[in-house]
Amino acid sequence: MKSTSLQKTLDLQKGLFLIRYDSAEDAAQPPKVSLSVDPQSSGSVEFLLPPEVEEPVLWSPGASVVVRLWAPARLQVELGARSAGGSLGARIQSAQLSTDPLGLAALDEAPLDFAGLRLLGHLAGRGDTLVGLGEWLGGPMAPTRIEGLGIDWAERPQNFGVRHSVRVGGPGEPKATNFVELGGYSGTRGRALPLVGATFEVFGSAAQHYEITADAIFLGSPQMKVTGQRVVVSGPTGREPLVGLRLQIASTRAAQSPAARSVSASSSQVAASAGTTETVSKSPVRSGSGRVRVFRSRAGAKG
């Protein structure tokens, strides 16, 4: 029996976004698209709706809604068929709205100094340990189970920040924490529960000109390296304890000439206009099949 609904999640950064119903496979009976906030993200999301509209529901292609986020959040996107066996094929786009899409204000700012940034890790048998950028918590020479993480930066500038969340292992399914910003802590202390994954993200008006690199080692797995404005690290199965972590932050403009910067800025503008496209099944699927194809641009949502 064919499903009459399909659910998808959409991860968005802090900011203002336009969610648009771009097209439907069945133009005569397009599926209804309902948006809601994941319970873990409640309180940090606001839908900006027209007068007398109470719920963020997109009824047909061309419809749109604006959503404002005060912190990274996850939205639930539910597609409902108009009739039994009806099409669930739809294309939803998200594009971040900005008063400075090219980040030109940041071009006039001095390079950031990360000398005072410290990564805090609660290590099994050793307690809280602070290291600088480029230095290991645990690591290849002294792998140690990491049970919690925090980032401190006393002289953080107003236009740049770093936030993170972790996945805590132990009995049962790993549990993900909400994002915390500088000065916050994620994980446990004194409970012998390892971290099995972590996400790091740079944000702020200057963030688009910087990338974060995370080197991570999970128990029994080779060292991995991930670079981007948002990076996620985890082991092959998502349950391996994190035993080594090193962070670095670098400017993406350091090796660019003025001409190269101009090309890069233009490309960024095109990507921002295109937004992020979620192509949700080109035909009805059985509930729980998970056959959902996702195509993401470099701007807008991340996940």
Q: In the predicted model, is pLDDT for residue 115 greater than 60?
A: yes
Q: In the predicted model, is pLDDT for residue 13 greater than 70?
A: yes
Q: In which band, very low, low, confident or very high, does the pLDDT at 296 lie, cut at 50, 70 and 90?
A: very low
Q: What is the reported pLDDT for 163?
A: 92
d(CA 71, CA 40): 11
Q: In the predicted model, is pLDDT for residue 303 greater than 90?
A: no
**246 or 295: which leads in pLDDT:** 246
Helix (DSSP H) and strand (DSSP E) numbers for the chain: 2, 21
pLDDT digits (tens, 9 = 90+) for 205-222: 788 789 999 999 999 999
Task: Report how far apart, in Å, the C-alpha atoms of 188 and of each of 170, 201, 215 are.
Answer: 11, 21, 21
pLDDT digits (tens, 9 = 90+) for 20-69: 999 999 989 999 999 999 887 777 899 999 988 999 999 999 999 999 98
Which CATH number does the domain 5-100+275-280 belong to among 3.60.20.10, 2.40.40.20, 3.40.920.10, 2.60.120.1030?
A: 2.60.120.1030
Q: Name the token pair of 249.
A: 């932050």
Q: In which band, very low, low, confident or very high, does the pLDDT at 130 lie, cut at 50, 70 and 90?
A: very high
d(CA 251, CA 233): 21
pLDDT digits (tens, 9 = 90+) for 228-285: 999 999 999 999 999 999 999 998 875 443 433 333 333 223 233 333 444 443 333 3
Q: What is the reported pLDDT for 2?
A: 62
Domain spans of the chain, in order of start? 5-100+275-280, 112-251
